[in-house]
Amino acid sequence: MASDQPAKNRPEPSAPPAPPSAGVVLDDVAIQRALMRIAHEIVERNEELARLYLVGIPNGGVPLARQIAQNLREIAGVDVTVGVLDTTLYRDDRLTRGIRPRLRRTEMPSAVDDRLVILVDDVASTGRTIRAAMDALMDFGRPRAVQVVALVDRGHRELPIKIDYVGKNIPTQRTDHVELRERAGGEGMEVVLMQGRGAPS
Amino acid sequence: MAGRVWLRGGRVLDAASGRDGRADVLIEDGRIAAIEDALEAVGDAEMVNAEGLWVAPGFVDLHAHLREPGQEYKEDIASGGRAAAAGGFTAVCCMANTNPVNDDPSVTDYILDRARKDSPVRVLPVAAATKGLAGEVMTEMAALVAAGAVAFSDDGKTIMDSGMQRRVLEYSRLVEKPVMVHAEDRTLVRDGVVNEGAVSTKLGLPGNPAVAEIVHVARDLLLAELTGAHLHVAHVSTAGAVAHVREARARGIHVTAEVSPHHLTLTDEATLGYDPNTKMAPPLRGKDDVAACVEGLADGTLDAIATDHAPHAVHEKEVEFTAAPPGVLGFETAFAVVLELVRRGALTPLQLIAALAWRPARVLGLPMGRLERGAVADVVLLDPARPWVYDPAQGFSKSRNSPWAGRELEGRVLATWVGGRLVYQQGRGVLAP
Amino acid sequence: MMGRGLLAIEDLEREDIELILDTAFHMKEVGQREVKKVPTLRGRTIINLFFESSTRTRTSFEIAGKRLSADVVNFSPSSSSLTKKESILDTAKTLDAMDPDAVVVRHSVAGVPKQIADELAAPVINAGDGAHEHPTQALLDLMTVVEEKGRIDGLTVTIIGDIAHSRVARSNIYAFTKMGAEVRVAGPPTMMPAQVETLGVKSFRSLREALDGADVVMALRIQLERLAGALFPSVREYSATFGLDRAKLRYAKDDAIVMHPGPVNRGVELSHDLANRRPGVILDQVRNGVALRMAVLYLLAGRKRGAEGEVD
């Protein structure tokens, strides 16, 4: 994989590039490293850590948000609020074609007013999920600012959405499918790419 | 048109004589001129190839609603007569619940006049038993018979007052005509619209219990016994009614009974889709009732198959189930529907033809329903194996309310002769009057 | 179920019910937010076609639709085809031409929602048809029991009242049975439908026996206007034999809950006490009603007949 774009301020060299065909593109070790690095970046960029509010977008964004929160506790000694925000009811795609997607849990333990909300998603592509999450967020209140974490950015943006913190950029075809999932055998997570399997989200 | 017609090589079914076998039939001058195993010397007779087909007496329907006078938007004597011809019926009794009610000789005259002009088949008026069907004052039975009435019935209503029912039966002995009763205790029916049972419970619709019919059948049989009148039970639908009629017949009570094609073949489960074209009065009943009716027909307890042809306009049936008037079309599907009983082995072909032609004629005491030399040539040609799809819109009735709409049926009337005249031919339509 | 609409619990599989309940619990969370509105059904039109008047159910559907940002239109024609110029099916065909995304139908005669569904491309939701079914009521009742008891499997549910004329009873019998509960019915003999056991329930003439070991007791509304004198001799006698109060409730399990579809005839089916306080959960039922109806509208609105698709 030739064009592996480094994220901002990343001091370490990247791991050897994974081949572009089907397979694991981020193993558990790489994921944990990325999440630790992202936590450092968050601390660097934001002064008032007490205002942070990590909001995970189900399903994949939730464990990632929790892990980042734990990392922030380790690095900076702050206890950051973690919430879960399902975006299904705010999606903009044509839902009438078929069966409605199943709803997922939403749990927002605090109000979002005047907080610094950091949305956490697993795989970002078109930007529509992030956009839906922002619409949902606005119905909850008025955050002071919103930033976005994506473990993987696979490109093909259709909306002007910026990802502030990226774990890894992975170039893909539109028809590829990229997914964060639990490792077979239970321990840890991994990101897989399957060629020609689906539409970007 | 006193033509000569030679029906050649068909299976001739005549219940009166017991004939069931291959034979030729010659029609001449409106009568059956000859029935022989093989006819020769038929000269210029028009030959009809009846190989593989049935030749039977024209069917006689004891119970139909022609809706004229007064409700011609549903049906009239012309359209009803055409539908009857297409169904193989050469004579139909028309019930009195018209508007005005046929409770006066002038209305009977009107009906017969219209029939003479417009109907390809014979129309036999059944006059009301009480004035206006109100169950209070008897009609002038003698005058009505003189005008042409063949029987009396308050069908459409029931005479709830037992004393009145007794008097009607008693008085009918003056004219010795059958009194046809729609046996149903309205206080037990209340607002019931489907058979009371597991199906009505599932549907959430008010139920019409079988006992409503049985109670009145029992009552009317006892009154028939008391008065010696000829009681005819219309549209039997319950096992209990069949049992009572059987027992009364054994005791020598003068009772006859009819059953409809739908009560012989459909159960209340047909109403599970809330289609108002499955709403009849009496309602479709349970499996055991249907089985008892079939058995009753087979053992002769029930004399006749009568269609209770009850046309209703499309807009009248396209409403919520409780608001729809009960009743369905019957003429054009009757043969195919009841033929099912022969295919199942419940009836022989001869028994079927007896129930459709000979025995109804016996109920009325009229010279019809038989194929023998000298008899009037009311004849039908039937193909018991022909498959077809019933589309009421293509039928001759003005209405479309049938539970068999769109169904694949087997068995068709190919031609109908009334008094030797071809009035209907499948494929060509109704040819007379 | 999902293609045609929601006409009857009888037509649903257990998985369909579980999906609806799962969705309903999520919708309940929406109702607890500050902004109780999501844009999911924006631009969709829902028609409430109520031939039989019912402020409670209609309002519940209206709020549900509005919380999903749908445009809700109320249409209350006169109830009988006999008294109005336009027949029910003509009304349905007219509505179909306006291309709604869902039509909610209530009628006093059983079968009308199905007859209407046969004419419409849009999904039809049965909001109560005669004595036949009231699917959303049964589903919100299931939801309430799940909240209280954590499950349905293995529970004993006793339904008391005019079972013969009750669509709530029928829908609940199907719903609770499909979800694994044992259902009993009790009431005066004149109010028991013919062959009621064919629905999969046991019927009782004695309230005490029917309540013995019950986890859920559901009292149905008696229609005093229609039935007193004809089907039972007096309100007093009904209340004495089948009315529920704390004393009689002791025959049930200690932690039994009491439900009622509303509105309650206080002192007849339920004592004032049980109508207002726990273990009566009537207001919870109402609250769940909006969430449940949001779930049903979410799952159905906009899906045309024959729509297929992949599960997301």
pLDDT value, residue C34: 86
User: Looking at the domain assignment, is residue C305 inside a domain?
Assistant: no
What confidence tier does A19 reach under pLDDT thresholds 50, 70, 90?
A: very low
pLDDT value, residue B432: 75
pLDDT at C311 over 50: no
Nearest CA in chain B to C169: B204
Mutation target among B190, B272, B320 for the C interface, most CBs of C within 10 A: B320
C133 contacts in chain B (CB < 8 Å) = 204
Helix axis angle, B77-86 relative to B105-118, nearest 10°?
60
Asked if the C-beta of C77 comes within 8 angstroms of chain B's C-beta atoms, the answer is: no
A contact set with C (CB within 8 A): 86, 89-91, 95-106, 135-136, 139-141
pLDDT value, residue B366: 97
What confidence tier does C84 reach under pLDDT thresholds 50, 70, 90?
A: low
B194 contacts in chain C (CB < 8 Å) = none
pLDDT at C244 over 50: yes
> Quick one: CA torsion of A133, A135, A139, A145, rounded to 10 degrees?
80
pLDDT at C237 over 70: yes
Distances (CA, A) of A88 to C17, C70, C288: 20, 16, 21
Q: Measure A179 CA to nearest chain C CA, in Å.
A: 14
pLDDT digits (tens, 9 = 90+) for C144-193: 999 999 999 999 999 999 999 999 999 999 999 999 999 999 999 999 99
- Both structure tokens of B425: 């031919």
* Strand-pair partners of C159: C185, C218
Nearest CA in chain B to C10: B202
pLDDT value, residue B234: 98
pLDDT value, residue B42: 74
- The larger pLDDT score, comparing residue B369 to residue C276, is at B369
* Element holding B219 (H helix, E strand): helix B210-227
Q: Measure C68 CA to nearest chain A CA, in Å.
A: 9
pLDDT at A3 over 60: no
- Both structure tokens of B310: 């009850």
- The larger pLDDT score, comparing residue B220 to residue C303, is at B220
Count other C-beta atoms under 10 Å from residue C27's C-beta: 25
C80 contacts in chain B (CB < 8 Å) = 320, 323
Q: Please calculate the CA angle C66-C171-C177 and round it to the nearest 5 degrees.
A: 120
As a whole number of angstroms, the distance between CA B177 and CA B145 comes to 9
- Both structure tokens of B207: 């139920």
Candidates B140, B141, B138; CA nearest to B159 is B138
pLDDT digits (tens, 9 = 90+) for C184-195: 999 999 999 999
CATH of the domain at C55: 3.40.50.1370
Residue C212 and residue C148 share a domain = yes
pLDDT at C81 over 80: no
pLDDT digits (tens, 9 = 90+) for A87-109: 999 987 655 556 778 899 999 99
* Residue found under tokens 């949305």: A119
Residue C145 and residue C85 share a domain = no
C109 contacts in chain B (CB < 8 Å) = 320-323
Closest CB from C19, C33, C308 relative to A98: C308
Closest CB from B201, B274, B320 relative to C195: B201
Residue C245 and residue C122 share a domain = no
Q: Measure A95 CA to nearest chain C CA, in Å.
A: 8
As a whole number of angstroms, the distance between CA B180 and CA B182 comes to 7
Give the active site residue among C106, C132, C178, C184.
C106
The CATH number of A31-170 is: 3.40.50.2020
pLDDT value, residue A100: 79
User: Looking at the domain assignment, is residue C307 inside a domain?
Assistant: no
User: Looking at the domain assignment, is residue C175 inside a domain?
Assistant: yes
pLDDT value, residue C202: 97
Average pLDDT over residues A68-74: 96
8 Å CB contact of B203 and C110: yes
> CATH number of B57-364: 3.40.50.620, 3.40.630.10, 3.20.20.140, 3.50.50.60?
3.20.20.140
Asked if the C-beta of C33 comes within 8 angstroms of chain A's C-beta atoms, the answer is: yes
pLDDT value, residue C306: 47
Kindly list the partner chains of chain C, i.e. chains with 3 or more CB atom pairs below 8 Å. Answer: A, B
| C26 catalytically annotated | no
Q: What residue ranges of chain B have pLDDT lower than 50?
A: 1
8 Å CB contact of B319 and C129: no
Q: Measure C281 CA to nearest chain A CA, in Å.
A: 25
Closest CB from C112, C167, C198 relative to B198: C198
The residues, ordered by sequence, that sit 6+ positions from B351 with a Cβ below 8 Å of its Cβ are B15, B297, B298
Judged on CB neighbours under 10 Å (0-12, 13-18, 19+), C130 is: buried
| C85 catalytically annotated | yes
As a whole number of angstroms, the distance between CA A179 and CA B396 comes to 67
What confidence tier does C92 reach under pLDDT thresholds 50, 70, 90?
A: confident
As a whole number of angstroms, the distance between CA C105 and CA C47 comes to 8
> What radius of gyration, in Å, describes the C-alpha atoms of chain B?
21
C193 contacts in chain B (CB < 8 Å) = 200-201, 207
8 Å CB contact of A139 and C35: yes
Average pLDDT over residues A6-21: 49
* Strand-pair partners of A56: A84, A120
* Strand-pair partners of B25: B7, B35
8 Å CB contact of B203 and C87: no
3-state DSSP call for residue B267?
Answer: coil
> Are the beta carbons of B201 and C198 closer than 8 angstroms?
yes
What confidence tier does C78 reach under pLDDT thresholds 50, 70, 90?
A: low
Second-level CATH architecture of B4-55+375-430: Roll (2.30)
| C156 catalytically annotated | no
Give the active site residue among C134, C170, C221, C248.
C134
8 Å CB contact of C111 and B318: no
Phi, psi (rounded to 5 degrees) for A193: -120, 130
Helix axis angle, C14-30 relative to C135-149, nearest 10°?
70
Instruction: Please count the CA atoms within 13 angstroms of the CA of B71 that sit on its side-chain side.
Output: 20
Q: Please calculate the CA angle B216-B221-B222 and round it to the nearest 5 degrees.
A: 100
Q: Please calculate the CA angle A88-A92-A97 and round it to the nearest 5 degrees.
A: 85
Average pLDDT over residues A159-183: 92
Give the active site residue among B185, B308, B378, B383.
B308
C111 contacts in chain B (CB < 8 Å) = 203, 205, 274, 320-321
As a whole number of angstroms, the distance between CA A91 and CA B419 comes to 77
C26 contacts in chain A (CB < 8 Å) = 86, 103-106
pLDDT value, residue C305: 47
The residues, ordered by sequence, that sit 6+ positions from C192 with a Cβ below 8 Å of its Cβ are C163, C164, C185, C203
As a whole number of angstroms, the distance between CA B181 and CA B202 comes to 31
> Are the beta carbons of C26 and C33 closer than 8 angstroms?
no
> Are the beta carbons of C300 and C5 closer than 8 angstroms?
yes
pLDDT at C77 over 90: no
Give the active site residue among C57, C136, C144, C158.
C57
Which amino acid would we find at residue C110? A
B321 contacts in chain C (CB < 8 Å) = 109-111
Count other C-beta atoms under 10 Å from residue C227's C-beta: 18
pLDDT digits (tens, 9 = 90+) for A40-58: 999 999 999 999 999 999 9
Size of interface A-C (CB pairs under 8 A): 62
pLDDT at A18 over 70: no
End-to-end CA distance of chain C: give it in Å, rounded: 18
Asked if the C-beta of C198 comes within 8 angstroms of chain B's C-beta atoms, the answer is: yes
> Are the beta carbons of B399 and B314 closer than 8 angstroms?
yes
**Which range marks the domain in which residue C90 is found?**
5-134+287-300
Residue C47 and residue C130 share a domain = yes
Asked if the C-beta of C8 comes within 8 angstroms of chain A's C-beta atoms, the answer is: no
Percent of chain C with pLDDT strictly greater than 90: 76
Asked if the C-beta of C88 comes within 8 angstroms of chain B's C-beta atoms, the answer is: yes
Candidates B112, B152, B111; CA nearest to B133 is B152
Task: Tell me, yes or no, whether chains A and B touch by having 3 or more C-beta pairs under 8 A.
Answer: no
Number of structural domains, chain C? 2
DSSP string, B98-166: SSS-S-SHHHHHHHHHHHHHH-SSEEEEEEPSBGGG-SSSB--HHHHHHHT--EEE-TTS----HHHHH
* Residue found under tokens 């509208």: C297
The residues, ordered by sequence, that sit 6+ positions from C229 with a Cβ below 8 Å of its Cβ are none
